[in-house]
Amino acid sequence: MLIKSASYLISSPDHTKSPAADRPEYAFIGRSNVGKSSLINMLCDNHKLAKTSGTPGKTQLINHFAIESIVEKKQAGAPATRTQQSWYIVDLPGYGFAKVSQQQRRQWEKMIENYLRQRQNLMNVFVLLDSRHEPQRIDLEFVDQLGAWQVPFCLVFTKADKESQREVSKHVKAFLDAMRKTWQFLPQHFVTSAIKKMGREKILEFIEGCNEEFEKGGREAGIV
């Protein structure tokens, strides 16, 4: 997948104010300061797209980015085909340690829940986890909640360049082992580094496949 363009579209206080659900959408969420904006910028190859900040809780709205990409597929004995895919990236407020009032936190939680459970074109939620740390209860509780809501998600372990490969692998395994206590099947996971662009191609390949599923579903429903 080649990212042709990526641009900020709109920030919404509620999922009902979001853009039309006419293309596949991918949400990114994690604890505050987990490297969400840096990951989004790395995926889109645009370091100025999502605003990064050292201040936890900076993202407070549902932020949509419009992405245009090109997919080229080669078939034996035939010319390569190029197709364009249009999709959204959504930057959601972080959860956890932001220094905000309880009332503000409850408003964020309700806004996020309504979005995750009611946004019809949401193909996948990328849950970001800091690969430098042991499993955190708040992260395990969040993925359990996604499971209860039947929201599809993947795990993205960030900042893999900040620790040794051995430590990162240990923390990834520990989180997956913690999930195995209550989950029969584990979600797909990615290990990433925004600095080294680690995991970029694998995540974009995953998104490419989801985009094709969305388009196929639209054709079958007579929408596309």
Complete DSSP assignment for 42-82: HHHT-TTSSPP-SSTT---SEEEEEEEEEEEEEETTEEEEE
Collapsing DSSP to helix, strand or coil, 163 comes out as: coil
* Spatial distance between the Cα atoms of 211 and 215, rounded to a whole number of angstroms: 6
Q: Which of 196, 6, 185, 176 has the alpha carbon at shortest distance from 91?
A: 6
Query: What CATH number belongs to 2-212?
Result: 3.40.50.300
Please give the residue that has the higher pLDDT: either 60 or 92.
92
Q: Are 212 and 23 in contact (CB under 8 A)?
A: no
Domain boundaries, the chain: 2-212
Q: How many CB atoms lie within 10 A of CB 8?
A: 15
Mean pLDDT to the nearest integer, 1-25: 94
Assess contact for 73 and 32: CB atoms under 8 A: no
pLDDT of residue 53: 53
Ranges of H-type helices in the chain: 36-44, 102-118, 137-149, 165-180, 200-220
Give the C-alpha distances (Å, rounded to integers) separating 51 from 12, 32, 48, 115.
Answer: 16, 14, 7, 21
Binned at pLDDT 50, 70 and 90, residue 81 comes out as: confident
Q: What pLDDT shows up at residue 75?
A: 75
Mean pLDDT lowest for which of 52-56, 95-99, 132-136, 185-189?
52-56
